[in-house]
Structure 1
Amino acid sequence: MNKKLVLIDGNSVAYRAFFALPLLNNDKGVHTNAIYGFAMMLEKILNEEKPSHVLVAFDAGKTTFRHETFSEYKGGRQKTPPELSEQFPYIRELLKAYGISQYELENYEADDIIGTLSKQAEENGFEVRIVSGDKDLTQLASNHTTVLVTRKGVTDIEAYTPSHIQEKYGLTPEQIIDMKGLMGDASDNIPGVPGVGEKTAIKLLKQFETVEKLLQSIESVSGKKLQEKLETYKDQALMSKQLATIYRKAPVNINISEIDYTGPHPEKLISLFRELGFQSLLEKLDDRVEPEVKELATIDFKVVEEITEDMLQQDSALYVEIIEDDYQLAPILGIGLVNGSGNYYLPMDVVKSSSIFKSWLEDESMRISVYDAKRTIVSLQKLGFLVNSIDFDLLIASYLLNPSENIQDFSDVAKAHQYDEVLPDDVVYGKGAKRTPLSDEERAEHIVRKALAMFQLKEKLIDELKQNEQYELFTNLEMPLSRILGEMESMGVALDSNRLKEMGEEIKAQLNEIEQKIYQLAGEKFNINSPKQLGVILFEKLGLPVIKKTKTGYSTSADVLEKLQSKHEIVDQILTYRQLGKLQSTYIEGLLKVVNPETGKVHTRFNQALTQTGRLSSTDPNLQNIPIRLEEGRKIRQAFVPSVKDWVMFSADYSQIELRVLAHISGDERLIEAFQHNLDIHTKTAMDVFHVDKDAVTSNMRRQAKAVNFGIVYGISDYGLSQNLGITRKEAGEFIERYFKSYPQVKQYMDEIVQVAKQQGYVTTLLHRRRYIPEITSRNFNVRSFAERTAMNTPIQGSAADIIKKAMVDMAERLKEEKLQARLLLQVHDELIFEAPEDEIEILKEIVPDVMEHAIELKVPLKVDYAYGPTWYDAK
């Protein structure tokens, strides 16, 4: 058997992934960049190394035996950002799903566990691979142990063998410890000898071999100053070497035979990847997983040759089967119908030719249950059927009862409510390359089972909604909204493709111009998209201060460049170059790809049952993400135009809705007063926090106050705020503290809502939307902290979502009442976008703010700003 052990430095790889990748979130708001990076690293190592044994070692705590030698060991390290801390429990879950052992040992570091086990493994004839983001472990390299150090990101790896170390430093692996003893290590707060850097240390070790031999021969060292330093810091050098030495006899009580690797648990991985939103990793798993197929109870159903009146009862469940994501284009495969008279499968040729089925769908007195009303309305409308009879939506009801449920298809919803007589679509149809055609009988049975599940679950879910005080939210808000969203999707929004193409040409010209400016400022041509080449230009040729280094060289990430903007004009040019490049590829070219050739419009899909806060999102294309910071990004909205000649676009936007909701929910008198007197809330916050008069508030003070105002709503940490404002974490922490002193009832609300969440396990919005937060009682500090921030934020963000949804429903009614031609096209964050004839604009100027500002009555006024013009851009 091939005996190969892979040992992974868990903390180091997690840190490397967190700082290498941008902050990512899943749809539940959990930060995922470190987990994703860790998973990518595991995929690479497991596939390339094919180990027989694997273990991930973690640090057990802040204090180790090294602190007895030097109490300040690792003393300079900042507290772990909460955005990373909250990811460690998921990394541990990830390892369990991969079937990988994990271990930590009190009073020792992960390095010591790895050092001890690698020694044991070598003695037992194993090949060893050590994976870390830290070069300290390269001291363990030997003829049988290779240390793989992550460089850029986590999948670019440099392999350290004794020969590679010799080639790179001219040293042996054991001398890496001596090098650390001399030069020290700022990240671990190992002092070394002041003034001795890597070059000097290597030069000395090539001459004297070890720290001990060097210190016995100080008089042979060239340079009097260096001799004096070595004499002065003799003891410190020896102590530093001791601190840097990995202890290879740690009392590890796990045997190598216990950490054998037999492969991942695919079902666990699928569940975790789905929860975290790792779509690309999910797709890679498809080929590895053979799903278990449950034996289902038999059902009776009839394949209909003609639809008759007795089949079309008032209380019925109707399931429309479309298995493609884009139901606007995909065909309906068949329809299941279940009611008191029986179970029926309706083939599409029968459906299309039935006038009584058409009349039944249009009859508002019918009470039809469906799954995803919006999808049902849009797909049937393509066939010329107007659906007026839907009164229950299983998907929306289930979503309201528990928005954290991981829903991939119909069977997930059914299982969530203890109904397991429906197989997942992937099992029935197969997926991707494994998709196989079904017999008519098999497909018919699968579709009827879904309709039967809806028919049997309806009353149960309605009872639960009523118990939760959510039935009104369901019937008066979400159900009518699904119809409105369906109409918006079918309507689409017109796109001026020629204007988009012109913008693409303009951006290309700008990119060429900026490229030449960058070459001119750099004094040479180079690959601007290469971080390595760019790093050399900025930090070596132009001598800009180094902010952050990666294993491959200098970091040129956006946050680094933003800190260098005032140092050299080339930086601004590079940032603009990158932003324009993204606009060109993602938005200009991306939008042109999704224009429907028949309608000349984009028909985005609104996700009504996705986010845990109740916010709508949109896909194919995601119109909520069009960048507006850069003028060129805002200009993309010029391509969104009315679909009727001489009509105009009309946009209405809630002003600071989440802060107004915060004022209402917290009851903070200062916040309420500010909004009631129509004060600029960011200026007011700056006045309160900095204790200055209005005239003394600078633009920078207001900017900082604005960041805190919006950050508080999202439970921002000192780390998050420091990143936003480019200040230290200490300054950010003091700023947050001053904010809470200025607005004490906001702090009181934050504390109280956490207690409420702990007592009842969930928080609610103003309209009783719930979000369950079971992690709030976790014994793990990091998990609990994230849950507490979620509890603070959800009632605010969720209530804002409720308000704009209510405004959409009320607005649809008002447009009908006023008999206007104006149409609601889009909802983007807190903004509603309409198209309307020019002669209706005066009416819209009155009724749109009126409806939106009175959607819900708060202790503070809701404020709506509006604008209109020939394009969406002009209506901002």
Structure 2
Amino acid sequence: MPKPRRQLALDGFELQDEQKQLVEPAGNKTHSAEKTSGKETEKDSPLLKGRTVYVVDSHSLIFQVFHAIGEMTSPQGEPVNAIFGFTRDLLFLLREQKPDFIICAFDRPGPTFRHEIYPEYKADRGEMPDELSVQFPGIQQITEAFNIPILQVDAFEADDILATVAQQADRSGANCFLVTSDKDCRQLITERVKIYNIRKQSVYDQQNLDKDWGIRANQVVDFQSLVGDSVDNVPGVARIGPKTATTLLQRFDSLESIFSQLNEITGAKKTYLQDGKDDALLSRRLVRLADDVPLDFDWSAAEVGEPNIEESLRLFHAFGFQSLLPQLRALGPTKEQVKKQTSDYVCVDRLDTLQKLVKEWEKSEQISIDVETTSLQPSQAEIVGYSFSLLPERAYYIPVRGPEGEQIIDPEAALQCLRPLLENASIGKIGQNLKYDLVVLRTAGVRVAGVAFDTMIASYLLEAGRRGHSLDALALHHLGHETIKIESLIGKGKNQRKMDEVALKEITDYAAEDADIPLQLKPILEKRLHENQLGELFAKLEIPLVDILAEMEYLGIRVDIKRLQKLSKQFGARLKDLEAEIYELADGNFNIASPKQLASVLFEKLELPIIKKTKTGPSTDADVLEQLAEYHSLPEKIIEYRQFAKLKNTYVDAIPELVNANTGRVHASFNQVVAATGRLSSSDPNLQNIPIRSEEGREIRSAFLPGKDDWKLLGADYSQIELRVLAHYAEDDALIGAFERDEDIHALVASQIHDVPLADVTKEMRHSAKAVNFGVIYGQSPFGLAKALKIDRDEAAEFIDAYFARYPQIDAFLIKTLEECGKQGYVTTLFGRRREIRGIRSETEGRQRNLAERMAINTVIQGSAADLMKQSMINVARRMKKESVESKMLLQIHDELVFEVPPDELEVMETIVHEEMESVATLKVPLKVDVKCGSTWAEI
């Protein structure tokens, strides 16, 4: 039986009356942590001696997972990413760390004793996002169901509770692990109290502290008093960084000794310390954790027992946490086990049997298919076996490769037997990530026809913001079924086997399930697609695109490896030169790739101003370096070095490794289910991130060639498609007229905003207008525009105001879109694609709402442009097939399609792309396509 629990209440959560007030509130008591009393808040517990205690800094953990896990909703459409992450982490702690006691500490809303000391404490922290605050009741429910006590006290922070509990555990002889990312807790480290990093699954102790800060745990408070904490608005001593603080404490031991021996310190440091003494002493009161929090708490309530499985299962199903059910089940016996399939899976290892089955299967209207292979790279994979399913819970596996001694069917014989079935367009093909199977089979010589339903794409259309659309996740989410995991067949790491080394008895159920589950999912997902008016988008846009993308991946694009090798040497030489320049400017060598060492050079050695801080110290990101470039030449060189290093490592050196030895081409993957707006993305390599306008980017692109020496690459690029979509939606007469007259839209906007003739528009005016035009699409603020144009924020705000005054219909469109999104909770694109937008409701304020508004506008504009591009790809491919051209569609990058074309088809291909892409949809503005030809990608 689950043990009874004493549950402490989270603020805002209504528990039963007898459960309330288990913590004696501190009320308005003023508490100073300048020197804690150390008195016992409870007698030492004999329960603890020699046992293990885990204390969770719940808010720290919740914020971590909220920001780390993408959008995730329950079956009811409520955000659950933080609940999911917190639940997953608690399960991990209970299952893997096996604590004897576990406690969750929470902050209480409202001011703490530190705010009485310093009202500006944590003043710079924004409001908690609405999408997070609504998840706290669910987090409390999960914690209750796991029988884990919650501790929180008015006027104290969770860190103070950690300090108090850690002291009790330490005194009682327990080993205590504090699950937190807060560096304040380093002051609590003792021989028995350590910090547990759940992300890295590592323990942080005195040895780590000495390595990081070079100090003892009893010096942490003084260290932080000197350095301060920008996140919590703890002032510290201005211009005293971590390195200096460590040096001072190693020499003088404590804050008191530093200030009592100031005469032994010389130069600027002495001045900084003199000027900052009051701030240092104030900071010490803020950072020292209180270890005497009044807790009315019984340790027996924290002893780990069985969770309330029935309540946990109810919550897991309500939140849609099917993927966590196996971990829950491992904690104790469940009354409701995860659904297990009673399936009829057959291994077909004789050719004559397969031939008879194929004759039957050819009478079907649809069939679910899957291919098992030796590689995740479809262009390099060898087929191990085929799976087919026509009825739920019945499937067949046909092995064509396997361990020595197993009976299999000859690979070529099986392929020829299956070819008529696979190439029959009248038999609808169902599957999960069918594009992979199509590329594998195309490489083997079979062109699969009749793609009808892809469960991964269906799931993506329904929940574009969801991170996982794997078959494992979909089976759990929709069927309550736990699939066989591939690791159970082939293992992990260096001892991992290939699929053709797995015994047929083991692989049959796994492979057959991969065909069976999509068949079972189809009616469920199909129903939801139609309920959400997504059926037509799925059937007429996304599914036809699968064939086209599979063919593009199969074809790949030819790469000049020698050209890239030459570029590698050039880039390497440039990096060497930059390295020498950087060392000269820094007056010494250091690891340029180390943010920590770079920060030391910039802010301690060169004494440049600290622009912003992160948890690990002063930031050295690109934005910071750009601002620092106004003070010194070094940051600009660092920016240039990073750019060259990224291009060299990511493209120049990496792409040759991705070239298929058999084809001499690189076969990038084009992903349909990644970008929530509907745009395609590419990977292995990511061709979209190769710079377009820089000389280095053009040099890299010059290594991409047509398949034959006398052929050309042809690029068809939509001209300003997103602005045209904006003009269409806004119905702005001035913009529509400009596009109809094929005028320079940026120059026109500059002319109208600055009220000057078109002929008098300067380059700077046009640049500003262009920034605003695109800023509208991406929801750019006056701050963002000011930064982009390097102008005053007020001037940027005036420019934006003038823009909307001149184009009020655009302003009206933006307002209407956001109002409708606020009511519906989602936006739709030109072709009906839907994306849920959370954080846009009227009660949401601040940064989170601004982000949601930008996301809403961007999805409508960019998503509609993506729909137009996808439809263009379908129309162009159909026209190319109709015209029986040899030309091939190879790449889709941003708003551009790239083809390889024989010389005698250049004219006809220009005609095809112009006619099909410019007539893809009827908008209130004309669509325009710019076409260029060249011998390399750089030339188009």
What's the TM-score, normalizing by structure 2? 0.72
TM-aligned CA distance change 1:742 to 1:338, over 3 Å: same
The aligned counterpart of 1:315 is 365
The aligned counterpart of 2:161 is 113
Distance 2:854 2:575 in 1: 41
Note if contact 1:175-1:205 (Cα within 8 Å) is conserved in structure 2: no
The aligned counterpart of 2:112 is 64
Map 1:650-799 onto structure 2 (within 5 A): 650-668=714-732, 672=736, 675-676=739-740, 678=742, 680-682=744-746, 706=770, 709-715=773-779, 744-757=808-821, 759-760=823-824, 762-772=826-836, 789-799=854-864
Deviation of 1:762 (Å): 4.0
Question: Given the alignment of the two structures, is residue 556 of structure 1 paired with residue 616 of structure 2, yes or no?
Answer: no
Secondary structure in 1 matching 2:344: coil
Map 1:70-469 onto structure 2 (within 5 A): 70-75=118-123, 77=124, 79=126, 105-126=153-174, 159=206, 209=256, 246-251=289-294, 295-299=340-344, 301=346, 303=348, 305-306=351-352, 307-308=355-356, 309-322=359-372, 324-339=375-390, 344-348=396-400, 349=409, 352-353=412-413, 355=416, 357-404=418-465, 407=468, 409-418=470-479, 420=481, 423-426=484-487, 433=495, 438-455=502-519, 458=522, 461-462=525-526, 464-469=528-533
1:316-360 deviation line (CA, Å, top 9, x unaligned):
304132254223222223223445899654444367326564334
Distance 2:547 2:508 in 1: 27
Distance 2:546 2:291 in 1: 63
The aligned counterpart of 1:604 is 668
Note if contact 1:320-1:332 (Cα within 8 Å) is conserved in structure 2: no
Deviates more, 1:586-595 or 1:784-793: 784-793
TM-aligned CA distance change 1:704 to 1:98, over 3 Å: farther
Secondary structure in 1 matching 2:644: helix
Q: Return 5+ residue gaps in structure 1 as ranges.
A: 224-228, 277-286
Deviation of 1:719 (Å): 7.9
One-letter code aligned to 2:829: T
TM-aligned CA distance change 1:685 to 1:405, over 3 Å: same
Deviation of 1:799 (Å): 1.5
One-letter code aligned to 1:352: E
Deviates more, 1:575-584 or 1:751-760: 751-760
The aligned counterpart of 2:325 is none
One-letter code aligned to 2:534: Q
| Root mean square deviation, CA, Å | 6.1
Note if contact 1:492-1:601 (Cα within 8 Å) is conserved in structure 2: yes
Distance 1:222 1:516 in 2: 34
One-letter code aligned to 1:320: D
One-letter code aligned to 1:378: V
Deviation of 1:501 (Å): 0.7
TM-aligned CA distance change 1:86 to 1:792, over 3 Å: farther
TM-aligned CA distance change 1:755 to 1:637, over 3 Å: same
Note if contact 1:44-1:155 (Cα within 8 Å) is conserved in structure 2: no
TM-aligned CA distance change 1:379 to 1:535, over 3 Å: closer
The aligned counterpart of 2:904 is 839
Deviation of 1:515 (Å): 2.3
TM-aligned CA distance change 1:186 to 1:734, over 3 Å: farther
Note if contact 1:117-1:256 (Cα within 8 Å) is conserved in structure 2: no
Distance 2:786 2:915 in 1: 39
TM-aligned CA distance change 1:511 to 1:417, over 3 Å: same
1:479 to 543, 555, 577: 543
The aligned counterpart of 1:494 is 558
2:877 to 812, 816, 839: 812
Secondary structure in 2 matching 1:652: strand
Deviation of 1:594 (Å): 0.9
TM-aligned CA distance change 1:656 to 1:184, over 3 Å: same
Distance 1:654 1:509 in 2: 37
Distance 1:116 1:732 in 2: 51
1:367-407 deviation line (CA, Å, top 9, x unaligned):
44444443333222233223334444444344434445555
Note if contact 1:148-1:159 (Cα within 8 Å) is conserved in structure 2: no
Note if contact 2:102-2:304 (Cα within 8 Å) is conserved in structure 1: yes
Note if contact 1:419-1:453 (Cα within 8 Å) is conserved in structure 2: no
Distance 2:274 2:673 in 1: 70
The aligned counterpart of 1:282 is none
Q: Return 5+ residue gaps in structure 2 as ranges.
A: 1-48, 74-78, 267-271, 322-329, 401-408
TM-aligned CA distance change 1:120 to 1:835, over 3 Å: same
Note if contact 2:369-2:386 (Cα within 8 Å) is conserved in structure 1: yes
Distance 1:313 1:140 in 2: 72
Question: Given the alignment of the two structures, is residue 513 of structure 1 paired with residue 574 of structure 2, yes or no?
Answer: no
Secondary structure in 2 matching 1:873: helix
Note if contact 2:50-2:173 (Cα within 8 Å) is conserved in structure 1: no
Distance 2:753 2:140 in 1: 42
Distance 1:134 1:793 in 2: 35
1:4-55 deviation line (CA, Å, top 9, x unaligned):
556676777999999xxxx9896999x9999999999999999999976566
Deviation of 1:644 (Å): 1.0
Distance 1:264 1:666 in 2: 55
Note if contact 2:196-2:202 (Cα within 8 Å) is conserved in structure 1: no
TM-aligned CA distance change 1:454 to 1:80, over 3 Å: closer
Deviation of 1:868 (Å): 1.9
TM-aligned CA distance change 1:449 to 1:752, over 3 Å: same
Deviation of 1:118 (Å): 3.9
Distance 2:92 2:391 in 1: 55
Deviation of 1:498 (Å): 0.8
TM-aligned CA distance change 1:598 to 1:64, over 3 Å: same
Deviation of 1:804 (Å): 0.5
Distance 2:250 2:510 in 1: 74
The aligned counterpart of 1:279 is none
Distance 1:252 1:51 in 2: 21
Secondary structure in 2 matching 1:766: coil
Deviation of 1:640 (Å): 0.5
What's the TM-score, normalizing by structure 1? 0.76
Deviates more, 1:815-824 or 1:669-678: 669-678
Distance 2:233 2:788 in 1: 27
1:463-518 deviation line (CA, Å, top 9, x unaligned):
55445443432333223221111211111110111111111111112122222333
TM-aligned CA distance change 1:65 to 1:819, over 3 Å: same
Note if contact 2:188-2:217 (Cα within 8 Å) is conserved in structure 1: no
Deviation of 1:598 (Å): 0.9
The aligned counterpart of 2:25 is none
Deviation of 1:715 (Å): 4.7
Note if contact 2:306-2:331 (Cα within 8 Å) is conserved in structure 1: no
TM-aligned CA distance change 1:70 to 1:419, over 3 Å: closer
Note if contact 2:62-2:85 (Cα within 8 Å) is conserved in structure 1: yes
Secondary structure in 1 matching 2:938: coil
Secondary structure in 2 matching 1:583: helix
One-letter code aligned to 1:333: V
Distance 1:751 1:81 in 2: 25
The aligned counterpart of 1:648 is 712
